[in-house]
Amino acid sequence: MKKVRTMEEAYRVFEYLGMKDVTKKWQKAKGTEVWELPFKTMYNNGSVETNRFSMYKSGYVRKMVVHPDTNASYSCYQLNKVRKEAEYFKDYEWKDGGYQNWTGKYRKRYTNKRIMIDNHRDRVIYLCNYILKNYYNNSKMSLVGDYTRLRVSEIHGKFWRNERENEQLPFFDGDEHDLVRTIQSEDTKHGISPNHKIQVIIDGHRYNLS
């Protein structure tokens, strides 16, 4: 999937996706911006999750955890990328059953540090690409999933069945012999000889059914 490159393009994508700006006045005053997807995520246990995202002046981009009853955000997931960063701390040894004595050395360990996104433009672009990748181009979580494809198929089928009934087209899904007998029976009722030829054209080929 092609990535969004500009803030203007990102906002157009938000509009096309039907995302809603749910930023409150006090949030906007602090430089925060909040957007919500037009659909919720349902899990196997039946719980439903609102897909709400926040961008902060501090450089953070977050997925909010929303209370199902109050619709209030009460926690979050950090969406910023991380980098490994080394930290050093004193190395101690145990003495006399519990006394810690510094060995004069340091130990090194690596921790994950969030990479801040310094300007609003880059935060909007980052969030847009994150949503496209994880919600619209993900086989595990896609708007065009199995249910949607099934419903489209059902609606498409109903449409053509209605069209066939309205136009009385000579196409059918059953046995052609059953069709001939049905037509002959109807013709007999109307005084038409059952020996007349019945033809249908399928893919440009003419077929005699009687």
Q: Please tell me whether residues 124 and 107 are part of one structural domain.
A: no
Find tokens 């430089």 and name the residue. 31
Q: CA neighbours within 13 Å on the CB side: how many for 59?
A: 9
Give the tokens for residue 116: 């801040």
Give yes or no for residue 180 having a pLDDT over 70. Answer: no
Give yes or no for residue 198 having a pLDDT over 70. Answer: no
Within a domain: 29: yes
Q: Please tell me whether residues 73 and 97 are part of one structural domain.
A: no
Give yes or no for residue 26 having a pLDDT over 80. Answer: yes
Cα angle at 41 between 11 and 37, to 5 degrees? Answer: 15
Q: Please tell me whether residues 25 and 75 are part of one structural domain.
A: yes
Q: CB within 8 A of 13, min separation 6: which ones?
A: 4, 128, 132
Give yes or no for residue 205 having a pLDDT over 50. Answer: no
- The Cα-based distances of 129 to 96, 126, 132 in angstroms read 57, 5, 5
Q: Please tell me whether residues 150 and 124 are part of one structural domain.
A: no
Mean pLDDT of 5-16: 93
Within a domain: 58: yes
Q: For all residues of the chain together, what is the average pLDDT?
A: 76
Please write the tens of the pLDDT for every residue from 104-118.
888 888 888 999 999
Within a domain: 2: no
Question: Which pLDDT band holds residue 208 (cuts at 50, 70, 90)?
Answer: very low
pLDDT value of position 199:
47
Question: Which pLDDT band holds residue 63 (cuts at 50, 70, 90)?
Answer: very high
Give yes or no for residue 120 having a pLDDT over 80. Answer: yes
Rounded Cα–Cα distance for residues 91 and 108 (Å):
9
Q: Please tell me whether residues 157 and 203 are part of one structural domain.
A: no
Give the tokens for residue 126: 């980052």
Within a domain: 129: yes
Structural domain including 196 reads: 171-210
Q: Please tell me whether residues 62 and 126 are part of one structural domain.
A: yes
Q: Is 7 exposed, middle or buried (0-12, 13-18, 19+ CB in 10 A)?
A: middle
Q: Please tell me whether residues 70 and 146 are part of one structural domain.
A: no
Q: Please tell me whether residues 52 and 89 are part of one structural domain.
A: no
C-beta separation of 41 from 51 below 8 A: yes
Mean pLDDT of 139-160: 50
Within a domain: 107: yes
More reliable by pLDDT, 196 or 51: 51
C-beta separation of 79 from 63 below 8 A: yes
Within a domain: 75: yes
pLDDT value of position 139:
53
Within a domain: 47: yes
pLDDT value of position 104:
83
pLDDT value of position 128:
94
Q: CB within 8 A of 172, min separation 6: which ones?
A: 179
Within a domain: 1: no
Q: How many domains does the chain have?
A: 4
Mean pLDDT of 135-153: 54
Mean pLDDT of 166-178: 46
Mean pLDDT of 23-44: 91
Q: Please tell me whether residues 146 and 206 are part of one structural domain.
A: no
Give the residues across from 189 on adjacent strands: none
Rounded Cα–Cα distance for residues 113 and 108 (Å):
15
Instruction: Specify the range with the lowest mean pLDDT, choosing from 33-37, 106-110, 187-191.
Output: 187-191
State which amino acid sits at residue 112. Answer: N
